[in-house]
Amino acid sequence: MSERRPPTDTDDGTAGESLPDDGTVGERVPDGGMTDGGTTDGGTAHSDRTFVSGEHDADGHAFPSTSEIRRWLVTTNHKDVGILYVVTSLFFLLLGGVLALLIRVQLWAPRAVGETILNPAAYNQAVSAHGLLMVFWFLSPFAFGFANYVVPLQIGAKDLAFPRLNALSYWLYLASGLLFAVSFFQGGTFAGGWTMYAPLNVPTFMPDVGASTAVLALVLFVTSVTVSSVNFITTIHRMRAEGLTLRNLPLFTWTILLTVWMMLFAFAALLAALLILSSDRLLGTTYFALESPGGSLLWTHLFWFFGHPEVYIVFFPALGVMAETFQTFTGRRIVGRKWFIAAMILVALQSFVVWMHHMFLTSINLQIKTLFMVTTIGISLPFDLMVFALIYTMIKGRIRFTTPFLFTFGALLLFIIGGITGVFLGAVVLDYEFRGTYWVVAHFHYVMVGGVTALVGGLYYWFPKMTGRMYDEFLGKLHFGLYFVGFNLLYFPMFVAWQTPRRVFDYAPGLAPWHKLATIGGFVLAASFVVMFYNLTKSAFAGDPAEDNPWAYSTTAEWAIPSPPPLENFPGVPTYRDGTLSFRSDAPQLTAEADGGTAVGSTSSATPPAAYDAAREAHDEPASHASIWPLALSVGMFVLFFGLSGLRGGSFVSGAMGAVYLASSAVGGAVTFGSLLLWALEPFDAPAGGFGEAWPFAGVENGKVGMWVFLASDVVLFGGVIGAYVFTRVAFGWTGWEPIPTDPIPGLLNTYILLTSSFTVVLALVAAEKRSRMGVVASLVATFLLGVGFLVNKGIEWQHLFHEGLWLSTNVRSSTFFLTTGLHAAHVIVGLLITLFLVARAWRGAYLDDSQTVEYFGLYWHFVDIVWLFLFPLFYIL
């Protein structure tokens, strides 16, 4: 579990620096200019102004300019990260798009045995990889490129709450995508569809190493998403400008806020599913094995509990882009804004109670079907309201059909068709026949690629802001024309040919003309993207310079600052105190850089909003916007996960490749661990929140909010794993299932040990507050020893079980026991590593002035203890 490192970067970096005896911290950071502003000559920074004009951060120490590769490797700035996300996601669009075209070529005609272009196994891989790449590695990250770039600007923040974690999210995302790409070359990637149904997903039926790699790539991706959700949730709640209450939040930011909340919980459930699947594939547990009672259904529940919210997770940001652009390009404020927001909140909540509508043809009973039919229809209704709100917003407008609006207007049209065809699926009797056919394929492409259409509109909308240059309007319109024709030519025939079974290439010959049309449409759509890539690449370097605000009637804060915005975003502290945006010019180091060209005036104020710059004042040592550790950590995890993919049934595959995998795991593990350590020791400025609106976390610092939010996702992770146990046990027969440890005493002992260790953590905190160095050290050492005692005790217990012939793969009872308690033990190990780190720093006198780190660690540690309080009765007593 080391990859789910709790977000503590505001404190680790700053806590000790003000202490005189802790001066070694700076020396520990390797040189190379990455982290130390003094090594680069500030004079070169202004040489390039293509993307970001303010290469100097407000402290005046240098940061590589955007024309240097190094800048993009070390940056933690949200605008840079946003651009990286957008560019990378478009790269994965190409990959997924090429696969889509291969699929369409195969479907040009029904393919009998021997007439295929891709062989059947390759076709299955293409379909599966296409779906996974498009949904995970293109659609969401594309949206999060904009979220990264725009959300801090819209809310008036200098950056996200945890800039290094943000960079980490990006690098983990890239690493996971590359890992997925590698999986194609390890005998073949995952071939069981993006839904990954069991038991086809286990090695018995899908033995290729590449299939394991694909699953691990997803795990890495989920890690990135979780880190990102924690970051955005903390940022949006804690770092809004004065006056920007949630009610007044711009709609794009609203959609992102709801998206990240859904992500936090949905992806935690997916992580539970994927960890169990990885364990089945790599360690040999038998959750999803053919013999497992309920294994198939267990997967469908776990997957769809994630899968349905995922539909809204990918769609909401698109909705946000539509709302913003409709307001801007019609010159009208959105109709029924309050209702629009209420409808979205309703959808976000309800999205977690509709998952079984994907399972109408399984053995669930009529009551449950009825219930899920009702919730499903219920969740579709708020969308009607949103659609009408968007349409009525146009009334009395001054509508300009510029490229961004063409795309979002087109997106609304596509979404209406997608929505209407979705109602068909909500009628269970019809769903019985549509399931597994091209009706579903057509419907979800209208909705999801409809969402992509809006996001492409967003790309054109924010392109001038992000690059400082205008795209070519004619080519933009041409792109839209080709896109819209291609899209409908591609997907509409799928409704007509709906009788075609999904993921099948040998269909009824009578449907061939429709499939031919669709294939032609696919190529037209692909061609439209060629136009876009040409236009945007050329314009990014040679387009006309863009004004600060190229769009009439736009309202949000990103348009009130230069295009592209300077590194520190605003010429003062943004505030809406007077009902409109202004920048308070009392923050001295910011006014010096203020750009006169903004459309909005500055006001001054007698009360400096200290928190806006609080982090900087906390210590004297220079720290910078740059950090290499997010990249290093991601490289480490990439190598580690690549190595782990070679595991099968708990040991590495035989032969030379086995040695490669083993070495790769070892190296990757070492790099991961080392980067984590150096990360923790690096001095780093994170912007503090609470300078404006911070509901509902006004009194809690960013670090603590982040920890809480992270733990909330961990609750769902354990919920998923424990739920899997309960589900399996019920399917097996609750009473016929005997606990694996015949002797509950070691477990009971461990319960006492953990409870005591929670107590010692509290003592450490008390000691820190009393400024007793020895007290802190002694309590933390006691915690560490108790934790070790827990693990040793568990080790002895497991060894006994092993000698009794019980191990991970023995049966499903032992699988659930070892995996669930093992996941908990992994949390304990992570906790102990952190404890060691804290002890080392406490020895040097850290945490006495600032006990936050100890407090956050305490939250984590108590949580791990509480989990054990659930596991003990479930696995030892009942």
Q: Nearest-CA neighbor of 795 among 821, 815, 834?
A: 821
Peptide bond into 696 cis (omega under 30): yes
**Can you read off the two tokens belonging to residue 551?**
């769009």
Indicate which of Cu ion, other proteins, ligand HEM, none lies near residue 769 (CB less than 5 to 8 Å, by partner kind): none
Applying the rule CB under 8 A, the residues between 224 and 283 that interact with other proteins are 243-244, 247-251
Query: Out of Cu ion, other proteins, ligand HEM, none, which partner does residue 322 contact, by CB within 5 to 8 A per kind?
Result: none
Q: Is 500 exposed, middle or buried (0-12, 13-18, 19+ CB in 10 A)?
A: buried
If we measure between CA atoms, which residue out of 639, 587, 638 comes closest to residue 614? 587
Span 275-304, contacts to ligand HEM by CB under 6 A: none
Site residues (CB under 8 A) for other proteins, limited to 575-634: 576, 579-582, 599-600
Tokens 């060691």 correspond to 836
- Min. distance of Cβ 351 from other proteins in angstroms? 18
- Whole-angstrom Cα distance, residue 474 to residue 481? 11
Q: Which does 843 bind (CB under 5 to 8 A by kind): ligand HEM, Cu ion, other proteins, none?
A: none
Retrieve residue 74's tokens.
Answer: 């070390």
Closest approach, Cβ 243 to ligand HEM, in A, equals 38
- Phi, psi angles (nearest 5°) of residue 574: -70, 140
Q: Are the beta carbons of 457 and 317 closer than 8 angstroms?
A: no
Give every CB contact of residue 312 below 8 A, 6+ residues apart in sequence: 259, 262, 347, 348, 351
Nearer to ligand HEM, 522 or 609 (CB): 522
Which of ligand HEM, Cu ion, other proteins, none binds 105 (CB below 5-8 Å, type-dependent)? none
The Cα 719–Cα 725 span in angstroms is 10
Applying CB under 8 A, among 429, 542, 606, 656 the residue interacting with other proteins is 429
Q: Are 382 and 319 in contact (CB under 8 A)?
A: no
At residue 295, what is the residue type?
G
Find out whether 214 and 192 touch, Cβ atoms under 8 Å.
no
748 binds other proteins (CB under 8 A): no
582 binds, among other proteins, Cu ion, ligand HEM, none (CB under 5 to 8 A by kind): other proteins
Residue with Cβ nearer other proteins (391 or 659):
391
Please, what is the minimum distance in Å from the beta carbon of residue 174 to ligand HEM?
19
Per partner kind, with CB cut-offs from 5 to 8 A, the member of ligand HEM, Cu ion, other proteins, none near residue 392 is: other proteins
Alpha helices in 21-118 (DSSP H): 24-28, 69-74, 78-106
Query: Binding to other proteins by residue 423, rule CB under 8 A?
Result: yes
Number of shown-chain residues binding Cu ion (CB under 5 A): 1
**Residue 308 binds Cu ion (CB under 5 A):** yes
Shortest separation between residue 475's beta carbon and other proteins, angstroms: 21
Written as one string, the DSSP assignment of 463-521 is HHHHHSBPPPHHHHHHHHHHHHHHHHHHHHHHHHTTTSBTT-S---GGGHHHHHHHHHH
Binder among 161, 454, 525, 671 for ligand HEM (CB under 6 A): 525
What tokens does 385 get? Answer: 């309201």
Binding ligand HEM by CB under 6 A: which of 26, 33, 120, 193?
193
Instruction: Tell me: does residue 388 bind other proteins (CB under 8 A).
Output: yes
Strand-pair partners of 437: 501
- Can you tell me the distance from the alpha carbon of 777 to that of 780, in angstroms, rounded to the nearest whole number? 5
Residue 130 interacting partner from other proteins, Cu ion, ligand HEM, none (CB closer than 5 to 8 Å by kind)? ligand HEM
Query: In the bound complex, what is the minimum distance in angstroms from residue 357's beta carbon to Cu ion?
Result: 6
Phi, psi of 648 (to 5 degrees): -150, 120
User: Residue with the closest Cβ to ligand HEM?
Assistant: 131
Candidates 336, 550, 622, 658; binder of other proteins (CB under 8 A) is: 336
Q: Is the peptide bond before 564 cis (omega within 30 degrees of 0)?
A: yes
Q: Which does 394 bind (CB under 5 to 8 A by kind): Cu ion, other proteins, ligand HEM, none?
A: other proteins
Nearest approach in angstroms of CB 307 to Cu ion is: 6
Binding positions for ligand HEM, 138-177, rule CB under 6 A: 139
Q: Which does 345 bind (CB under 5 to 8 A by kind): other proteins, ligand HEM, Cu ion, none?
A: none
Residue 308 interacts with which of other proteins, ligand HEM, Cu ion, none, CB < 5 to 8 Å by class: Cu ion
Tell which residue, 529, 568, 444, has the closest CA to residue 130.
444
Supply the DSSP symbol for 647.
E
Residues in contact with Cu ion by CB under 5 A are 308
Residues in contact with ligand HEM by CB under 6 A are 97, 100-101, 103-104, 127-128, 130-131, 134-135, 139, 193-195, 441, 445, 448-449, 452, 490, 502-503, 522, 525
